[in-house]
Structure 1
Amino acid sequence: MVSVTPSRPAGSASAMTPAQGYHHQLHQTHPTRTNHYSLRDYLQFDHQRGSITDWYDQRIALATEDFVIGLVEGLEEEVGSASTLVMYRIGEEWGKRDAVVFKQHFEQEYQRELRKSALTFLLEAWWWPFTTLGWGNWEVDLTEQKNGFMFINIFDSVVARTLGDVGKPVCYIYAGLFAGFFTGLIQKPLSCIELQCYAMGETYCKFLVGKQDRIDAAAFWQNEGATARDIEKRLRQGELVKR
């Protein structure tokens, strides 16, 4: 697993042209290149400094599966059941910040405004680095976007794969990441819940991103024992929990 830390102030890239000011050697050589998401191209290793940076000069930290296990178990020991909320909030804050950084990088690299770009295109541009850095492949279902929600499938979640079959959802940091990023992207509050998880014996993880009433309904049905397929069907039919 890899984590990313911005190495430049959030606003410092706004007036830059492609590759201007970047230290990544391949980025300087090919300033307009966009197919840079193989691990060898995307990362730059500085053996003298002992550092790793990505295409945009952001610092990268490598983490082992033992780190993931230690993080999850350590939080559970410290705060008990609230550890899931802590992981969600970590992901949410990360997603909100990443939405700001992504907008700058996207508009600089593709020379177009984010709001004028096709949603499917910009979403793939956002997630490709995550796939490269070990966070898994994804699949986005936008068919219900007009109704205020969407589904995301994650294949090979680093958290679920590491923890194994524990019989419950574990990818709270992913859920928070999606909630934070899409909130920042559309500038409206969105939440996210994991409906099914590889750690529950499923073949992939499935997330619902949407307005709070959709998330509340999904959480209620999930607590009542509904499967991800049941919840998805109810939401697509426009059903919500009556209060």
Structure 2
Amino acid sequence: MNLETLLNQSIPGDYFAPGAYVQGDLELGTLSNRRGNRLLAFPEFLVQGIYGGLEQEIGKATPLVLQSCGRHWGQHLFARLAEELAEYYGKPLADLTMQELVYCLTRCWQVHGWGQLQLDWSYSSCGVILVQTHNSPWVKPNSGTSQPSAQVEVGLLEVLFRQLTGQEVQCVQIACISQGHGLNQFLIGLPERLEPVAAWVQSGMDAATILNRLRC
């Protein structure tokens, strides 16, 4: 590689930088991403209205339907991320470093208004990843639920990490803002590792106790 080639070589920056990723057309009244795909902004009360409608129509089946919606969304999100990031960085998603991948995921959450995504590897020796989301728009804070209720995020994260790891991992939520907590917390791991966790959550065990029990 000669000097001219080196100087003219573009260095990919932050793909999800808001000023570059989100494009607005005031004349047309539209929002789109940097590839020209339309973006849609909607208020939180619309989400809550959809949830309320589902509760009235299908009752106790609502959590299963929402989790299924999250899985479907996760499949499409992964396919889109794989295509867009490979095009931008000039290499397949599988060739991104862990640091690059985590950064892209957290920025993706932020720029789309899904809150703040954090991955905690402190429990990796126990075979699980702790995922936390702050300011999630998918759950109503302090709504008084006894069980975690971010089913859309559970389905989304489960499929996303299945695609990323190539393994049939599962996702179990252990804390939720609907219960009065300041954030949503999820554990990602293989089914046999999370089987007792799901039972602990059902019994009403708090997240701190669950995480303490997981310590290897």
* TM-score, normalised relative to structure 2: 0.85
What is the match of residue 84 of structure 1? Answer: 63
What is the match of residue 142 of structure 2? Answer: 165
2:174 to 175, 191, 195: 195
In structure 2, what is the Cα distance between the partners aligned to 1:147 and 1:235? Answer: 7
Letter in 2 for 1:114: L
Where does the alignment leave 5 or more consecutive residues of structure 2 unmatched?
1-9
Q: What is the deviation of 1:88? A: 1.0
Residue 117 and residue 36 in structure 1: after superposition, are their counterparts in 2 closer, same or farther (change >3 A)?
closer
In structure 2, what is the Cα distance between the partners aligned to 1:215 and 1:55? Answer: 39
Q: What is the deviation of 1:38? A: 4.6
1:97 aligns with 2:90: no
Q: What is the deviation of 1:217? A: 1.5
1:205 aligns with 2:152: no
What is the match of residue 65 of structure 1? Answer: 44
What is the match of residue 137 of structure 1? Answer: 116
What is the match of residue 118 of structure 1? Answer: 97
Moved over 6 A (4+): none
Identity fraction in percent: 24
What is the match of residue 228 of structure 1? Answer: 207
In structure 2, what is the Cα distance between the partners aligned to 1:63 and 1:32? Answer: 34
In structure 2, what is the Cα distance between the partners aligned to 1:148 and 1:56? Answer: 37
In structure 2, what is the Cα distance between the partners aligned to 1:114 and 1:217? Answer: 33
Q: What is the deviation of 1:125? A: 0.6
* 184-193 vs 113-122, greater mean Cα deviation: 113-122
What is the RMSD of the two structures over their aligned residues, measured on CA atoms?
2.0
Q: What is the deviation of 1:32? A: 5.4
In structure 2, what is the Cα distance between the partners aligned to 1:172 and 1:234? Answer: 24
Q: Give yes or no for contact 1:135–1:157 (8 Å, CA) kept in 2.
A: yes
Q: Give yes or no for contact 1:88–1:176 (8 Å, CA) kept in 2.
A: yes
In structure 2, what is the Cα distance between the partners aligned to 1:99 and 1:37? Answer: 15
Q: Give yes or no for contact 1:148–1:211 (8 Å, CA) kept in 2.
A: yes
Give CA-to-partner distance per residue, 1:30-52, whole Å, 9 cap, x none: x8553354544321123444432
Q: What is the deviation of 1:146? A: 5.4
SS at match of 1:106: helix
Where does the alignment leave 5 or more consecutive residues of structure 1 unmatched?
1-30, 238-243
What is the match of residue 128 of structure 2? Answer: 149
Letter in 2 for 1:64: P
Give CA-to-partner distance per residue, 1:188-211, whole Å, 9 cap, x none: 212212111112111111111111
* TM-score, normalised relative to structure 1: 0.77
In structure 2, what is the Cα distance between the partners aligned to 1:45 and 1:171? Answer: 30
Q: Give yes or no for contact 1:176–1:192 (8 Å, CA) kept in 2.
A: yes
Letter in 2 for 1:53: S
Q: Give yes or no for contact 2:109–2:117 (8 Å, CA) kept in 1.
A: no
Residue 148 and residue 96 in structure 1: after superposition, are their counterparts in 2 closer, same or farther (change >3 A)?
farther
